[in-house]
Amino acid sequence: MSLKLKKGVNKQSAYNLRDPNLDYEAAHTLSIIVDNESGVLARVIGLFSGRGYNIDSLTVAEVDPDGHRSRITIVTTGTPKVINQIKAQLNRMIPVHEVIDLTLKGKAVQRELAIFKVVANGNQRVESLRLADVFRAKVVDSTLKSFTFELTGTSEKLDAFAELMAPLGLKEIARTGIVALLRGDNSS
Amino acid sequence: MGILGGAILPIYDELFQQKKIKHILVRHEQAATHAAEGYARSTGKIGVVFVTSGPGATNSVTGLTDALMDSVPIVVISGQVPTFMIGNDAFQEADTVGITRPCTKHNWLVKDTNKLAETIHKAFEVAGSGRPGPVLVDVPKDVQFASGCYTKKNEIKKNFIKKDPSIDLNMLDEAISRLELAERPIIYSGGGVINSGQSAVNSLRNLVAGTNFPITSTLMGLGSYPASGKNWLGMLGMHGTYEANMSMHDCDFMLCIGARFDDRITGRIDAFSPNSYKVHLDIDPSSINKNITVDAPLIGDVSQILSVLIARWKERGSKVNKKKLSAWWKSINNWKGIQSLGYENSSSVIKPQYAVQRLEELTKSYNRFVSTEVGQHQMWAAQFMGFEEPNRWMTSGGLGTMGYGFPASIGIQIAHPTSLVINVAGEASWLMNMQELGTAVQYQLPVKQFILNNERLGMVRQWQELLHGERYSHSWSDALPDFVKLAEAYGIKGIRCEDPAMLDDSIREMIDYPGPVIFDCLVEKHENCFPMIPSGKAHNEMILGEQTEENSISDEGAVLV
């Protein structure tokens, strides 16, 4: 009756079988309105890790203190099928009131804030300040050996600035992750 | 159901001083949750469990997960260390809401006694509404001691309940027009029909009778359509009947009602029913297009959608493609002719299939409820026992929890004190919650434990035979107890049977005995459960009992569970 399988013949992962027609993956920005109660972020994050979804960026803060509502903005990557699953799974959670797919809904304003610490002398120091001016970054702290810049913009803009600063003495970066809202007069 | 400990003592103190709530003391928290599931599934009501903090709560995790997977409404109320000690690694402290977050529909930690009543009301509402499921309320000991204001149920804002979406009527009409033209239709029903209630069951039966479509059910859906009904094809899926699986594969119109295209049902996804138009009725939008992409998703309560569907179909003239349908039935009847549940019987040793068949024959006229453990015996029970009504069949489907059946049978018997409650078990599963003998004896619950004893982890053994070169690693049950003596130790009846000729009399003896019985049925040790769709194979690639299994599971399939 035995199938006489040789040991170690399973080269393929089972996951390859599950979805043979892999669709293209795309990044989606989801805006999730939740009750601001203890554990709500853990629920959302737990859903992503438990079901194997990606989180590229995540921000959360209370946006309606009277209604105790927070907005969670998550950037995630997946096939259309996976993105639909994520939205359906999120919608199923009791403290989740609304899930808005900003990527599907139309144009959205997406912004991120970052702080860069650049330690340099001489020409490099001057050059970092000049480039910061080009990017309209603000100097929020300074010593004789360093500048700390604050920059707000799209994630790409922040990436570009970080790349330019790297050879000029960039020591540390702190980024907030993306926040986003729909353009236009519609509330999302 | 419940079992107490330090952190839930104030609640038990109140229980002691009242008469409205009946509490059943179990012997292990896992058993409490399964008993609550058995109670809930056999009544359609919500089962309630009390456990203490720490180990009490962690022991309930398996039952919570089981209930989540099978959409069973239960409410677990757990004790917790006092609020001012939370986070200090206090004695019997565990992060209960953290641990149970992914295995409940929702859970709460109540830090203020004034919010306790509201939270409990919400807990019951969440557990029972929409797609049912388990919830947990964690109550610290100081919150239990303190007095607070009671909030009435009708004073609570219901904004936490998800609204059922309205039915997409265009989609429904499209689905009906496909139904009318279908040449090779099939209805595939699941546990959602039973959860939706009797009206959903009635609608389903009316639809089948009106259309004359063939119907198959998942493991969870057994009983939604009567097993004696003329359109019944038996269960589908990994150990489903040949006719059910072949019909699923070859159909051109599939109506999936309250089922979720689980991997045990679909087999290989890309070869699953390749040429059919698929309609999916489900209350949970996340079930749509999760495993199988469907053509017409209809989201909402099954009973509502079905009644609208039937009404509109009747308005349009109750049409079906009669001519093609009779040809379809002809091929289905040919598949039936294969008799895929056939097995070679023996006069010297009891075949497990024969044991279940005789059990079915001798008990089907009773007001009967059946639970099972998990494994080969579970599949044989699903194959050979017939269920005429819903809520009569309780089994762990999604999670596949060995040890489910015995405590579940206790919960069922509590809900139905005068009915015949049988747990069809395997000896390895049954031993996992055998401590519940104490509960059965204490409350004089005449549950019948029908153990198919092959001294093996039978299903594991079967997979090792088929997939692992007959290397039977750790799959035999050594050092088994003498089940008859075990029964006697608890002061109940034990019956052993190993002779096929004695089987009927022994089963009758079990039924007639007024108390709990352990029936040790010694069966053939190396029997395999067929038909079987091997992992990674399609519905039309079933292994039947007599066929050769050479190369029937591919390398890729072997890595699947």
Q: Is the dihedral of CA B524, B530, B535, B536 positive or negative?
A: positive
B165 — contact with chain A (CB < 8 Å)?
A: no
Give the per-residue pLDDT at B549: 46
Q: Which residues of chain B are under the pLDDT cut of 50?
A: 547-551
Q: Which residues, listed in sequence order, are joined to residue B256 by a DSSP beta bridge?
A: B188, B280
> Is B141 annotated as catalytic?
yes
Nearest CA in chain B to A90: B286
Give A 26-55 residues with CB within 8 A of chain B: 38-39, 42-43, 46-47, 50
pLDDT above 70: percentage of residues in chain A = 87
User: How does the average pLDDT of chain A come out, rounded?
Assistant: 89
Size of interface A-B (CB pairs under 8 A): 90
Residue A108, min C-alpha distance to chain B (Å)? 26
Give the per-residue pLDDT at A133: 97
Per annotation, catalytic residue among B91, B153, B442, B556: B91
Predicted-complex ipTM score: 0.90
The string of pLDDT tens digits covering residues A26-72 is 999 999 999 999 999 999 999 999 999 999 999 999 999 999 999 99
Q: Phi-psi bin for B469: left (phi > 0), alpha (psi -120 to 50), beta?
A: left
- Checking DSSP bridges between strand A146-153 and strand A138-142, what pairing results, if any? antiparallel
Contact at CB, A18 and B269, closer than 8 angstroms: yes
B301 by Cβ neighbours in 10 Å (0-12 / 13-18 / 19+) ranks as: buried
Q: Which residues are CB-contacts of B519 (< 8 A; sequence separation ≥ 6)?
A: B448, B449, B450, B451, B494, B495, B497, B506, B507, B510
Of A2, A81, A91, the CB nearest to B465: A2
Residue A160 has pLDDT above 90, yes or no: yes
Give the per-residue pLDDT at A8: 44
Nearest CA in chain A to B125: A94
Provide the pLDDT confidence category of residue A187 given band limits of 50, 70 and 90. confident
Tokens linked to B561: 């569970």
> Is B532 annotated as catalytic?
no
Q: What is the mean pLDDT of residues A144-159?
A: 97
Give the per-residue pLDDT at B477: 87
Q: Which residues, listed in sequence order, are joined to residue B108 by a DSSP beta bridge?
A: B137
Long-range contact pairs involving B314-318 (C-beta distance under 8 Å, separation at least 24): B314/B210, B316/B176, B316/B180, B318/B210
Q: Is the dihedral of CA B463, B468, B473, B478 positive or negative?
A: positive
Contact at CB, B556 and A42, closer than 8 angstroms: no
Give the per-residue pLDDT at B488: 97
CA dihedral B369, B370, B371, B373 (to 10 degrees): 170
Provide the pLDDT confidence category of residue A14 given band limits of 50, 70 and 90. very low
B28 — contact with chain A (CB < 8 Å)?
A: no
> Is B459 annotated as catalytic?
yes
Contact at CB, B470 and A88, closer than 8 angstroms: no
Provide the pLDDT confidence category of residue A10 given band limits of 50, 70 and 90. very low
Nearest CA in chain B to A4: B469
Give the per-residue pLDDT at A98: 94
Provide the pLDDT confidence category of residue A186 given band limits of 50, 70 and 90. confident
Of B97, B98, B549, the CB nearest to A1: B549
Which chain A residues are within 8 Å of B470, Cβ to Cβ?
A: 1-2
Nearest CA in chain A to B269: A18
Contact at CB, B549 and A94, closer than 8 angstroms: no
Residue A183 has pLDDT above 60, yes or no: yes
Contact indicator for A12, B561 with CB cutoff of 8 Å: no
Q: Which residues, listed in sequence order, are joined to residue B217 by a DSSP beta bridge?
A: B189, B235
Of A3, A17, A21, the CB nearest to B549: A3
Per annotation, catalytic residue among B402, B434, B459, B542: B459
Residue A3 has pLDDT above 80, yes or no: no
If DSSP codes are grouped into helix, strand and coil, which group holds residue B235?
Answer: strand
Contact at CB, A43 and B109, closer than 8 angstroms: no
Residue B193, min C-alpha distance to chain A (Å)? 20
Give the per-residue pLDDT at A24: 85
Report field, pTM of the whole predicted structure over 0.95: no
Give B 495-534 residues with CB within 8 A of chain A: 528
Please give the full DSSP string across B546-559, using - where no structure is assigned.
TS--TT-S-HHHHT
Contact at CB, B551 and A91, closer than 8 angstroms: no
Long-range contact pairs involving B467-475 (C-beta distance under 8 Å, separation at least 24): B467/A3, B467/A5, B467/B553, B467/B558, B468/A5, B469/A2, B469/A3, B469/A4, B469/A5, B470/A1, B470/A2
Q: Phi-psi bin for B212: left (phi > 0), alpha (psi -120 to 50), beta?
A: left
Contact indicator for B241, B531 with CB cutoff of 8 Å: yes
